[in-house]
Amino acid sequence: MRISKVTNISGTVSEFILLGFTCQKETQTILLMLFSIIYILTIMGNTFIICAVWSSQQLCTPMYTLLANFSFLEICYVNSDVPKMLANMLSETKTISFTGCLLQFYFFFSTCASESLFLSVMAFDRYLAICQPLHYSTIMTHSLCINLSFFCWVGGFLWLLTPVILISQVPFCGPNIIDHFLCDLGPLLALSCAPVPRTTLACGTISSLIIFITFLYILGSYSHVLRAVLHVPSGSGRNKAFSTCASHFTVVSLFYGSVMVMYVSPGSGIQSRMQKFVTLFYSMATPFFNPLIYSLRNKDMKEALKKLLGGLSQIFLKGPRNENNLFHKFFAKQRIM
The confidence score (pLDDT) of residue 11 equals 47
The confidence score (pLDDT) of residue 59 equals 83
In-domain check, residue 244 = yes
Where the chain has pLDDT below 50, the residues are 1-11, 264-270, 326, 329-330, 333-334, 336-337
Q: pTM of this prediction? A: 0.85
* Number of domains observed in the structure of the chain: 1
Q: Rounded distance, CA 114 to CA 94, Å?
A: 28
Q: Rounded distance, CA 183 to CA 160, Å?
A: 14
Q: What is the CATH number of the domain that holds 159?
A: 1.20.1070.10
In-domain check, residue 8 = no
> How do residues 26-39 score in pLDDT, each as one tens digit?
888 899 999 999 99
Sign of CA dihedral 263, 266, 269, 272: negative
The confidence score (pLDDT) of residue 333 equals 47
In-domain check, residue 6 = no
The confidence score (pLDDT) of residue 115 equals 93
The confidence score (pLDDT) of residue 38 equals 94
The confidence score (pLDDT) of residue 16 equals 92
The confidence score (pLDDT) of residue 42 equals 95
In-domain check, residue 21 = yes
The confidence score (pLDDT) of residue 10 equals 36
> How do residues 63-118 score in pLDDT, each as one tens digit?
899 999 999 999 999 999 999 999 998 888 889 999 999 999 999 999 999 999 99
In-domain check, residue 330 = no
> Which range marks the domain in which residue 216 is found?
15-322
Cα–Cα distances in angstroms (integers) from residue 242 to residues 61, 167, 245, 331, in the given order: 19, 44, 5, 31
The confidence score (pLDDT) of residue 267 equals 43
In-domain check, residue 145 = yes
Instruction: Answer yes or no: are the C-beta atoms of 305 and 295 closer than 8 Å.
Output: yes
In-domain check, residue 118 = yes
